[in-house]
């Protein structure tokens, strides 16, 4: 009995370590965001805010157009996700079902191109977007972000499509469906969890992307959250409580997304990488 209780305690301890490792930085930022500049100066430092204030949160919304950053992030992430999932689903279906010669090689080529390092595309993409007049628009980020997630989305969707028996589509096609009709009415509904998973991964990748957002959207009003947050630092000052509050505001939406869809995210991350 005692041995069993010890084992239980060990398991809980293991879980606490993992949870603490993940949550600690965000918690620390949360505490900081409620402190005053004066309290931050105190030595030894305090952990829990002694005189909590929401002043920092007010400054977050007053100092920079953070709602605008948030809006830009949402639009770019949603549209690039739709584009990415559509292209990946069509490609994955063709590779799985349509008996293309050299499907394996086509997949490798697709992955290889989509995995080129972003930094090496930064300058030419800047030139292309400038020539097309797309700098500082959402489109300058939507197209590259869609490519960013294409490898993982394609791999996830392939592994889901492979599990659908051919007979189901054949039956639909005998009933007068076209191929695309069968994909839309039979395969996609049956693989909805996979499509969803691919979508969440694409969304998070776009939400987090920094380098291109920094380079292709130089104007303040067109910045996404990760770039916008860096604007809170002054030339010589680094107002930590305000930056912490801004970080919390920026982290909350993505936390909600992953908290709601946690199981799907985990299965997607692992099926894209390990199965093979």
Partner 1 sequence: MSDAIRHRLTPLEKSERRLGFAMLAPAFLLLAAVVLYPIAELIRNSFHFNHLAQPWMGTPFVGFENYVKALGDDRFHEAVLHTVLYILVTVPGAVVIGLGLALLANQPFRVKWPVRLGLLLPWALPLVFAGLIFRWFFEYNQGIANAMLRGLGLEPLNWLTSPGLAFFAICLAIIWKSSSFVALVLLAGLQTIPKSFYEAAEVDGATKWQQFREITLPMLRPAIFVALIFRTITAIQTFDIPYAMTNGGPGNSTETLAMYIHKTTVDFLDLGYGSALAVLMFIVSAVITSLYLRHTRRDPGRH
Q: Which parts of 144-203 interact with partner 1 (CB under 8 A)?
A: 144, 146-147, 150, 154-155, 158, 162, 179-180
The answer to the question of residue 207 lying near partner 1 (CB under 8 A) is yes
What gap in Å lies between CA 58 and CA 33, rounded to an integer? 11
The answer to the question of residue 276 lying near partner 1 (CB under 8 A) is yes
The answer to the question of residue 215 lying near partner 1 (CB under 8 A) is yes
The answer to the question of residue 122 lying near partner 1 (CB under 8 A) is yes
The answer to the question of residue 211 lying near partner 1 (CB under 8 A) is yes
Q: What's the token pair of residue 148?
A: 């960013």
Among 66, 156, 186, 225, binds partner 1 (CB under 8 A): 225
What gap in Å lies between CA 105 and CA 143, rounded to an integer? 24
Query: To the nearest whole angstrom, how small is the minimum distance from the Cβ of residue 75 to partner 1?
Result: 17
Name 91's Cβ contacts closer than 8 Å, sequence gap at least 6: 110, 154
- N-terminal to C-terminal alpha carbon distance within the chain: 43
The answer to the question of residue 234 lying near partner 1 (CB under 8 A) is no
Helices (H), 34-102: 37-41, 55-63, 66-97
Query: To the nearest whole angstrom, how small is the minimum distance from the Cβ of residue 44 to partner 1?
Result: 6
Q: Enumerate long-range contacts of 242-245, CB under 8 Å, 24 or more apart.
A: 242/56, 242/59, 242/60, 242/63, 244/29, 244/30, 244/32, 244/33, 244/56, 245/33, 245/56, 245/57, 245/59, 245/60
Query: To the nearest whole angstrom, how small is the minimum distance from the Cβ of residue 29 to partner 1?
Result: 6
Among 70, 75, 78, 269, binds partner 1 (CB under 8 A): 269
Contact track, partner 1, 5-34, x by CB under 8 A: ------x--xx-xxxxxxx-xx-xx--x--
The answer to the question of residue 229 lying near partner 1 (CB under 8 A) is yes
The answer to the question of residue 70 lying near partner 1 (CB under 8 A) is no
In 3D space, the residue among 172, 148, 156 whose CA is nearest the CA of residue 81 turns out to be: 148
The answer to the question of residue 104 lying near partner 1 (CB under 8 A) is yes
Output the CA–CA distances (angstroms, integers) from residue 121 to 88, 114, 130, 148, 175, in the order listed.
Answer: 21, 11, 14, 12, 47
The answer to the question of residue 204 lying near partner 1 (CB under 8 A) is yes
Give helix 118-131 / helix 139-148 axis angle, nearest 10°: 150
Nearest CB to partner 1, comparing residues 65 and 226: 226
What gap in Å lies between CA 3 and CA 163, rounded to an integer? 44
Among the candidate windows 48-56, 60-68, 191-199, 225-233, which touches partner 1 by CB under 8 A? 225-233
The answer to the question of residue 99 lying near partner 1 (CB under 8 A) is yes
Q: By CB under 8 A, how many residues form the interface with partner 1?
A: 103
Among the candidate windows 48-56, 59-67, 190-198, 207-215, which touches partner 1 by CB under 8 A? 207-215
């Amino acid at each position: 009995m005692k041995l069993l209780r010890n084992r239980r305690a060990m398991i809980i301890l293991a879980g606490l370590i993992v949870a603490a490792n993940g949550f600690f930085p965000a918690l620390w930022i949360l505490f900081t965001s409620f402190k005053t500049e004066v309290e931050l100066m105190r030595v030894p430092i305090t952990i829990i805010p002694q005189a909590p204030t929401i002043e920092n949160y007010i400054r977050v919304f007053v100092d920079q157009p953070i709602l605008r950053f948030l809006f830009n992030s949402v639009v770019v992430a949603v549209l690039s996700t739709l584009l990415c999932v559509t292209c990946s689903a069509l490609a994955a279906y063709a590779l799985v079902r349509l008996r293309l010669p050299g499907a394996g090689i086509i997949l490798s080529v697709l992955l290889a191109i989509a995995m080129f390092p972003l930094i090496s595309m930064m300058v030419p993409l800047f030139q292309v977007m400038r020539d097309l007049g797309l700098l500082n628009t959402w489109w300058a980020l939507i197209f590259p972000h869609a490519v960013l997630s294409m490898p993982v989305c394609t791999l996830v969707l392939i592994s889901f499509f492979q599990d659908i028996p051919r007979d189901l589509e054949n039956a639909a096609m005998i009933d007068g469906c076209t191929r695309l009709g069968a994909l839309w009415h039979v395969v996609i509904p049956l693989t909805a969890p996979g499509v969803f998973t691919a979508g969440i991964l694409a969304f998070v990748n776009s939400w987090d992307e920094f380098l291109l957002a920094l380079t292709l959207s130089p104007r303040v009003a067109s910045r996404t959250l990760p770039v916008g947050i860096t604007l809170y630092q002054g030339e010589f000052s680094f107002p930590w409580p305000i930056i912490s509050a801004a970080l919390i505001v920026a982290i909350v939406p993505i936390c909600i997304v992953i908290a709601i869809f946690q199981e799907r995210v985990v299965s997607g991350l692992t099926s894209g990488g390990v199965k093979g």
